Amino acid sequence: MADRASGMLIVVDVQYDFCPGGALAVPDGDAVVSVVNRLSGRFPHRVLTQDWHPAGHSSFASSHPGKSPFETTWMPYGSQVLWPDHCVQGSPGAAFHADLDVDGAELIIRKGFRPSVDSYSAFFENDRTTPTGLAGYLRDRGFGRVVLAGLATDFCIAYSALDARRLGFETVVVTDACRAIDLDGSLASAMREMVAAGVTLSVSETV
Ligand code: VGL
Ligand code: ZN
C-alpha cells in the first residue's frame, strides 16, 4: 500500500510528432523527456499514453475538404480543433521519443483510435463519455492520486487533469515536465480551468 502513496505518474503523449520537427510540434516539446525520466526515479508506478490515430482520422484537417489545420469545426460531440495529420498508427511520428523511459511503464494507453472521435484525455474520448479504461485500472490497483507530465499542457494534459478531478482522483500537474501548444490563449484558459477544478500545479523538484 505504502508505495501507492506517491500515486501513478501518467506520462502523456511524449511522441515524435509532438516534438520539434514533428507533424504537430509543440515548442520545446522534447525538453520534457529528461524531466520525465528524472521523475521516474521517484514514481515507481508509471502509465504512458500514446496518441494513436488511424490514417484519415476525423480530427485531421485533411479529412475535411476546405478546412485548414488549427481551424475549429463542429462534430456530433461538440467543437473540435482540426489538426495536421499526426501520430498515425505505426508511423515514425507516433513512436515514443527514443530517450523516454518506456520499459519501466506498467501500462500503455492508446487513444484516438476510433475514426470518428478524437481523444485528448487519458480517461475519456472527446465525447467525454467513452472511457479508455484507465479509471478502472487505477481503482482496481488502489491508486487515488495521479501525477501528470508530458504533452501538451493545454490539450491532452488539461483534459486528463480535468477528467481525473471529475472522477475523484487527487490530481497533480508537474508544470516544468509539460509543454503547451498555446492556440489563441488555450494555455491560460487551461491553467485557469485546472486550478478552478482543484488540480494542484507543482514542479518536478518538489512534487
Ligand atoms: C494532442 C492535439 C491532438 C495532445 C493530441 O497530445 O495534446 N493535441 N492530439
Ligand atoms: Zn491527436
Condensed to tens digits (0 to 9), the pLDDT of residues 125-141 reads 999 999 999 999 999 99
Ligand 1 proximal residues by C-beta, below 6 Å: 13, 18, 51, 83, 120, 151-152, 155-156
Task: Provide the pLDDT for residue 2.
Answer: 57
Please state the rounded mean pLDDT for residues 95-112: 98
Catalytic residue among 19, 87, 156, 178: 156
Considering just the CA atoms, what is the radius of gyration of the chain in Å? 16
Task: Provide the pLDDT for residue 26.
Answer: 98
Task: Provide the pLDDT for residue 135.
Answer: 98
Please state the rounded mean pLDDT for residues 143-152: 98
Task: Provide the pLDDT for residue 157.
Answer: 98
Rounded to 5 degrees, what angle do the CA atoms 118, 119, 124 make?
130
Task: Provide the pLDDT for residue 4.
Answer: 86
Tell me, yes or no, if the pTM score tops 0.85. Answer: yes
* Residues sharing a CB contact under 8 Å with residue 96, sequence separation 6 or more, in sequence order: 14, 15, 16, 48, 50, 102
| 88-92 contacts at long range (C-beta below 8 A, 24 or more positions apart) | 88/53, 88/54, 88/55, 88/57, 89/52, 89/53, 89/54, 89/55, 89/113, 92/16
Give the burial class of 119: count Cβ atoms within 10 A of its Cβ; 0-12 exposed, 13-18 middle, 19 or more buried: buried
Task: Provide the pLDDT for residue 64.
Answer: 97
Q: Which residue's alpha carbon is nearest to atom 8 within ligand 1?
A: 155
Task: Provide the pLDDT for residue 3.
Answer: 81
C-alpha cell at 100: 523516454
By residue count, the chain amounts to 207
13 is known as an active-site residue = yes
67 is known as an active-site residue = no
Catalytic residue among 111, 118, 154, 163: 111
